[in-house]
Amino acid sequence: MDNLAEHWQNLSLNEREDVNLELSEDKSSNEFIMAVKFLTKRALSVEAVIKTFNPLWRSKKGFKVRRAGDHILLFVFDNREEVDKILSSAPWSFDEHLMVLQRYDKEVPIRTLKFNTILVWIQVHDIPMRFLNHKVAEELCEVAGMMCKEEDINEMDGGSFIRVRVNIDINKHLCRGRRFSSSQGEQGWVSFKYERLPNLCYWCGSLSHVDKDCELWIESEG
């Protein structure tokens, strides 16, 4: 059916099939949808998912859940603000496994969605005191992923460290930190600490699988 939908222009249509229906915007639904992929090999229970996130997300009118593929669920809300709030509070996990969330605009097939990145807070530790500022922390975190500018600068202040919001690729190894040097010849290392991360592979540092599914672990025969 999907292939037919994609290639309908090449079909020979009969008189009834060729009658066009114009879909105006007033016929569209007012739903706001998140597409979520669960990075687990276990079977998903929709009932368990709803039971877990109902008290966490505290949606005023609740939400609906639809299955949309292999470990992919659609969460349907009636207002954008609740979706924005949930996305801004990422990362989320279920049963200690990572969930990759993204806004779904309903314009593209679900099978074409890429669940490759998540937003995380990174704590940047061990920055020399005279360089302990937001700009330096953001430059240091450029190797970890794409910066996400925070409007509330107070969210970045951790006292002895700086917090940076970063969009990271889950298929790449997590950066543990970064070397630095100063114009005075000082050299050192800053450490990255990731907030609220669930299970990850401690063999290679990837978030896309756990230890027992890692190629390094398999090649080493455990």
* pLDDT in 10s for each residue of the chain, 222 residues: 455 555 666 677 778 877 887 766 655 567 899 999 999 888 999 999 999 999 999 998 899 999 998 899 999 999 899 999 999 999 999 988 899 999 998 778 888 899 999 999 999 999 999 999 999 999 999 999 998 876 666 777 778 899 999 999 988 888 999 999 988 888 999 999 999 988 777 777 777 777 677 776 667 665
**Which of 112, 136, 171 delimits the end of a domain?**
112
**Which of 112, 145, 179 delimits the end of a domain?**
112
The pLDDT of residue 13 is 77
In a domain, 203, yes or no: yes
pTM as predicted = 0.77
The pLDDT of residue 12 is 78
In a domain, 19, yes or no: no
Domain co-membership, 215 together with 124:
yes
Domain co-membership, 102 together with 177:
no
Look up the domain containing 99 and give its range: 30-112
The pLDDT of residue 202 is 72
Domain co-membership, 161 together with 93:
no
Q: What is the 3-state secondary structure (H, E, C) of the chain?
A: CHHHHHCHHHCCCCCCCCCCCCCCHHHCCCCEEEEEEECCCCCCCHHHHHHHHHHHHCCCCCCEEEEEECCEEEEEECCHHHHHHHHHCCCEEECCEEEEEEEECCCCCHHHCCCCEEEEEEEEECCCHHHCCHHHHHHHHHHCCEECCCCCHHHHECCCCEEEEEEEECCCCCCCEEEEECCCCCEEEEEEEECCCCCCCCCCCCCCCCHHHCHHHHHCCC
* Total domains present in the chain: 2
The pLDDT of residue 101 is 96
The pLDDT of residue 11 is 72
**Which of 88, 112, 136 delimits the end of a domain?**
112
Domain co-membership, 130 together with 186:
yes
Domain co-membership, 192 together with 99:
no
